[in-house]
């Protein structure tokens, strides 16, 4: 809805305000759900030409209890969320030495998360929305706020035709990822910060080889798979391993290295056969043979360059709100990226519902006042956790060595050490809290 032609006395109490969401990833579809429940019309603009249903794209992720609760409330199909996720009740950090012997550094048996594949979670959220909300194959170009600040106009290129189209709304929600063009409009000097390491990632499908020697060896080496997030740490390296539904194992290996030369608008780098073979050879020197064999048999492993961003000063402006990775790019060590995106959507919707479109500025300011301090602390915590696990320099302590670490040094390893792990304010001014764990 475009308000710019409405006069003040022509208020239409029956009309719904309209939000244009740029970006159709998990942050975008979460915002669509939350805003619809708050009484808004939404349009989701996405440059991809079609939904990623059935796509192998992406990797595993971990949903905290609050995210699970919010998703169930949005879709109304709690049994489906259970079907596409696996329990992760144990968070286990262990050191591995040169003899491939491991020792427990930190173990949390009340982790209470659930693991999913990115594509499966996206499809679950997307399928519960009316398909006509989505403008696929629309490349965001620019936006402008009307002179009376009552509406916002978004321009996009229709990729199939090359034509330019415009969409009007009352609110622009930037869910366009860590390389957000909308954030760059307001904060052109804000740049992503390379962490000092990259990550090999892969999803191993064992659905047709459950009885293979590889799977047997992996289950012997990691006996609590299916219920546990395993983090193995060696000096200057760490891995993560957990099971996701449909008989798949998600693994990730972080390696210290200079910043890669990225091409295009992506933090994923192309890999060659030579790079993959070298990765296998290097893995054999560090990791348990069962994990190395798992890596060898994973189809199409890929590399992510790991970035985050210093906390922003603002995440809202007139008619514009940032959500998800556009608002707080983060490293993955605290399992917060997806969870922060989902909570952003919920808080934004609660604030919009509380204040109404006639007080949009107040709604956006309250959204910012709730989410910005929390997300900032979590981003900085994840940054420190990543540097610690990679044995990189820390400002106030010596580099972490998992094989000589003290109990005190290991206290930061569990994800439970993340700020606000156990509680997340949804509406601070009304003291409405939803517990982050039960």
For the residues of 2-71, what is the DSSP string, one character each?
-GGG--GGG--TTSPPEEEEE--SHHHHHHHHHHHHTT-EEEEEESSSS--TT---S-EEEE-HHHHHHH
3-state DSSP assignment of residue 145: strand
Could you tell me if 87 and 178 lie in one domain?
Answer: no
Distance, in Å, from the CA atom of 146 to the CA atom of 161, rounded to the nearest integer, reads 27
Say if 393 falls within a structural domain.
yes
Query: Of the given ranges (38-42, 181-185, 337-341, 429-433), which has the lowest mean pLDDT?
Result: 429-433
Q: Please report whether residue 219 resides in a domain.
A: yes
* pLDDT at position 260: 87
pLDDT at 7: 37
Q: Is residue 75 part of a domain?
A: no
- Can you give the pLDDT at residue 53? 73
| Per-residue pLDDT at 148 | 86
Question: Nearest 5°: phi and psi at 339?
Answer: -65, -40
Please tell me whether residues 178 and 206 are part of one structural domain.
no
- The set of residues, in sequence order, having a beta carbon less than 8 Å from that of 232 and lying 6+ positions away, is 94, 95, 96, 102, 238, 239, 241, 287, 288, 291
Given pLDDT bands bounded at 50, 70 and 90, which one contains residue 431? very low
Which residue did the predictor score with more confidence, 401 or 396? 401
Helices 337-355 and 65-75, interaxial angle, to 10°? 50
The pLDDT of residue 11 is 43
Verify that 271 and 372 share a domain, yes or no: no
d(CA 195, CA 330): 10
At residue 371's C-alpha, the angle toward residues 2 and 115, to 5°, is 105
Find the mean pLDDT for residues 385-408: 93
The 10s digit of each residue's pLDDT in 189-225 is 999 999 999 999 999 999 999 999 999 999 999 999 9
Q: Which domain holds residue 9?
A: 3-59+121-191+310-402
State the average pLDDT over residues 418-436.
Answer: 60
What is the average per-residue pLDDT within 8-21?
70
- Please name the residue that has the structure tokens 């189809």: 299
Q: Is residue 201 domain-shared with residue 342, that is, in the same domain?
A: no
Residues 245 and 286 in one domain: yes
- 167 in the same domain as 42: yes
On the CB side of 130, how many CA atoms lie within 13 Å of its CA?
Answer: 7
Model pLDDT, residue 432: 41
What is the number of domains present in the chain?
2
Co-location of 303 and 389 in the same domain: no
Q: Are residues 11 and 92 in the same domain?
A: no
* Lowest-pLDDT range of 50-64, 111-125, 148-162, 235-249: 50-64
**Assigned domain for 133 exists:** yes
Q: Distance between CA 277 and CA 121 in Å, rounded?
A: 31
Q: Fill in the DSSP letter of residue 394.
A: B
* CATH number for the domain that contains residue 398: 3.50.50.60
Task: Indicate if 324 and 358 belong to the same structural domain.
Answer: yes
| Model confidence, pTM | 0.91
Q: Quick one: pLDDT at residue 269?
A: 74
In a domain, 316, yes or no: yes
**160 and 300 housed in the same domain:** no
Mean pLDDT, rounded, for 46-74: 86
Q: Residue 429 pLDDT > 60, yes or no?
A: no
Please indicate, yes or no, whether residues 378 and 317 belong to a single structural domain of this protein.
yes
> 152 - beta bridge partners?
145, 169
* CATH code, domain carrying 90: 3.30.9.60
| pLDDT of the residue at 14 | 55
Q: Is residue 419 part of a domain?
A: no
Residue 66 falls within a domain, yes or no? Answer: no
From 280, 308, 336, the end of a domain falls on 308
Tens digit of each residue's pLDDT (9 = 90 or more) over 274-289: 999 999 999 999 999 9
| Residue 296, in any domain of the structure | yes
Residue 309: the pLDDT is 96
The helix or strand, by DSSP H or E, that contains position 293, with its residue range, turns out to be helix 289-296
Q: What are the DSSP E strand ranges found in 133-192?
A: 134-136, 138-145, 152-158, 164-169, 171-174
Interval 128-160: pLDDT, tens: 999 999 999 999 999 999 988 889 999 999 999
For tokens 């029956």, the residue is: 14
Q: How far apart are CA 285 and CA 99, in angstroms?
A: 10
Same structural domain, 325 and 350 = yes
């Amino acid at each position: 809805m475009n308000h710019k032609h409405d006069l003040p006395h022509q208020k239409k109490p029956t009309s719904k305000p309209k939000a244009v969401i740029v970006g159709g990833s998990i942050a975008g579809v979460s915002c669509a759900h939350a805003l619809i429940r708050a009484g808004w019309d939404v349009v989701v603009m996405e440059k991809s030409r079609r939904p990623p249903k059935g796509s192998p794209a992406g990797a595993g992720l971990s949903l905290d209890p609050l995210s699970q609760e919010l998703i169930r409330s949005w879709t109304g199909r709690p049994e489906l969320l259970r079907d596409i996720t696996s329990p992760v009740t144990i968070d286990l950090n262990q050191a591995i030495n040169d003899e491939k012997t491991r020792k427990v550094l930190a173990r949390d048996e009340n982790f209470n998360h659930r693991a999913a594949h990115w594509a499966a979670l996206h499809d679950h959220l997307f399928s519960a929305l009316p398909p006509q909300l989505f403008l696929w194959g629309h490349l965001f170009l620019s936006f402008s706020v009307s002179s009376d600040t009552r509406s916002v106009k978004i321009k996009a290129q229709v990729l199939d035709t090359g034509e330019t189209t415009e969409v009007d709304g009352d609110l622009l929600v930037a869910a366009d990822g860590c390389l957000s063009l909308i954030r760059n409009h307001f904060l052109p000097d804000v740049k992503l910060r390379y962490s000092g390491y990259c990550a090999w990632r892969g999803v191993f499908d064992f659905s047709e080889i459950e009885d293979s020697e590889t799977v047997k060896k992996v289950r012997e080496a990691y006996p609590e798979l299916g219920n546990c997030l395993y983090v193995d740490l060696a000096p200057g390296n760490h891995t993560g391993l957990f099971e996701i539904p449909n008989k798949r194992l998600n693994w990730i290996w972080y390696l210290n290295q200079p910043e890669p030369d990225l091409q295009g608008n992506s933090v994923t780098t192309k890999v060659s056969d030579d790079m993959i073979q070298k990765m296998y050879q290097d893995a054999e020197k560090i990791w348990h043979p069962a994990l190395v064999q798992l890596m060898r048999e994973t189809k199409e492993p890929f590399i992510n360059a790991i970035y985050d961003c210093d906390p922003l000063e603002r995440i809202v402006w007139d008619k514009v709100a940032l959500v998800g990775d556009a608002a707080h790019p983060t490293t993955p060590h605290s399992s917060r990226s997806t969870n922060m995106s989902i909570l952003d959507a919920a808080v934004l919707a609660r604030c919009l519902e509380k204040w109404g479109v006639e007080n949009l500025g107040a709604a956006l300011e309250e959204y910012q006042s709730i989410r910005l301090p929390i997300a900032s602390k979590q981003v900085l915590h994840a940054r420190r956790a990543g540097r610690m696990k990679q044995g990189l320099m820390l400002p106030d302590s010596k580099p972490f060595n998992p094989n000589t670490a003290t109990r005190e040094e290991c206290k930061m390893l569990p994800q439970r050490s993340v700020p606000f792990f156990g509680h997340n304010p949804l509406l601070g001014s009304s003291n409405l809290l939803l517990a982050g764990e039960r």
